[in-house]
Amino acid sequence: MKLTTLQVVLGVTLAAAEAQCGHQWTAPGPDDFRGPCPMLNTLANHGFLPHNGRNITKDITVNALSSALHFNKTLAALMFEMALIANPAPNATFFTLDNLNVHNVLEHDASLSRSDAFFGNNHVFNETIFDETRVYWTGPVLDANMLANGKVARQLNSKAFNPKYTFTSTMEQFSLGEVIAPIVAFGDLEAATVNRTLVEYFFRNERLPTELGWSIRPGVVSLDNISKLTGIMGNATSLITTAQPVVSTRDLHAGSFF
């Protein structure tokens, strides 16, 4: 029996090591390109994408999103095509992480963890900005409402204080995809929830939260799964609710709601 337990433990350890094989995390160096996307930066840090953040081709993107996060390959190819517009070269066949930093192409205002371009650097993780978002992450398990509230709060802050605030309906669609992305990478697709500790670790370290016990989901992530989540998130950004039973003023004065 002892041998069986040992074999199981060894087997699990080996499987975990195998998943990480060749994909150790290494911090970016001074000449490595990084961008506004915490996940693409993460995948470059792990070597799923070129560590220097350059020459990211379709094959490289599809293999990275498929092997690191079990994205459907058709979906990953679609995402690559969208990224390609960020490379200004005619008929480009690759993009760099630095290409993504150009403001108002794919990068937009009111990011969850980056400053608006108007205020300074629009692509390096900024803890002050991330704190504005995290105020609304009010439980240990993030749900659609908490994620939506953080997003709307960042937009309100930008709209109020950034005279150049820009947020088109196309940007809104991308933004909804970004806000649900932590659920897609680390969470529960069915419940639309994700462990807050894993998400904070990911944003701050640009590293897969493997050492916190995360492992790649067994199933494949489809465009359907993402569309469903963006629909839920779009609804959750609304500030309108259904009617609730009104608490009478008598009860309020009595201090009793029970």
Binding-site ranges for ligand HEM (CB under 6 A): 36-40, 61, 65, 79-80, 83, 100, 106-108, 111-114, 178, 181-182, 184-185
CB of residue 15 vs ligand HEM: minimum separation in angstroms? Answer: 22
Interior CA angle at 202 toward 201 and 203, to 5°?
95
CA distance 171 to 160: 18
State whether residue 247 is helix, strand or coil. coil
State whether residue 141 is helix, strand or coil. strand
Q: Binding string, 148-187, against Mg ion, x = CB under 5 A?
A: ----------------------------------------
Residue with Cβ nearer Mg ion (11 or 120): 120
Q: Binding string, 79-98, against ligand NAG, x = CB under 6 A?
A: -----------xx--x----
Q: For residue 26, give every residue at least 6 positions away whose Cβ sits within 8 Å of its Cβ, in sequence order, or none.
A: 45, 46, 47, 51
Q: Which does 115 bind (CB under 5 to 8 A by kind): ligand NAG, ligand HEM, Mg ion, none?
A: ligand NAG
Interior CA angle at 207 toward 117 and 118, to 5°?
5
CB of residue 15 vs ligand NAG: minimum separation in angstroms? Answer: 18
CA distance 81 to 93: 9
CA distance 166 to 158: 9
CB of residue 22 vs ligand HEM: minimum separation in angstroms? Answer: 20
Instruction: Check binding of 115 to Mg ion (CB under 5 A).
Output: no
167 touches 160 (CB < 8 A):
no
Instruction: Check binding of 13 to ligand NAG (CB under 6 A).
Output: no
CB of residue 8 vs ligand NAG: minimum separation in angstroms? Answer: 21
For residue 244, give both structure tokens: 């609730």
Instruction: Check binding of 42 to ligand NAG (CB under 6 A).
Output: no
Q: Tokens 């398990």, residue?
A: 141
72 touches 222 (CB < 8 A):
yes
Instruction: Check binding of 197 to ligand NAG (CB under 6 A).
Output: yes
Residue with Cβ nearer Mg ion (105 or 247): 105
Residue with Cβ nearer Mg ion (49 or 129): 129
Exposed, middle or buried, 13 (CB in 10 Å: 0-12/13-18/19+)? exposed
90 touches 131 (CB < 8 A):
no
Number of amino acids touching Mg ion (CB under 5 A): 3
Task: List residues binding ligand NAG (CB under 6 A).
Answer: 55, 57, 72, 74, 90-91, 94, 115, 119-121, 126, 128-129, 140-141, 189-190, 195, 197-198, 212-213, 220, 222-225, 228, 231-232, 235
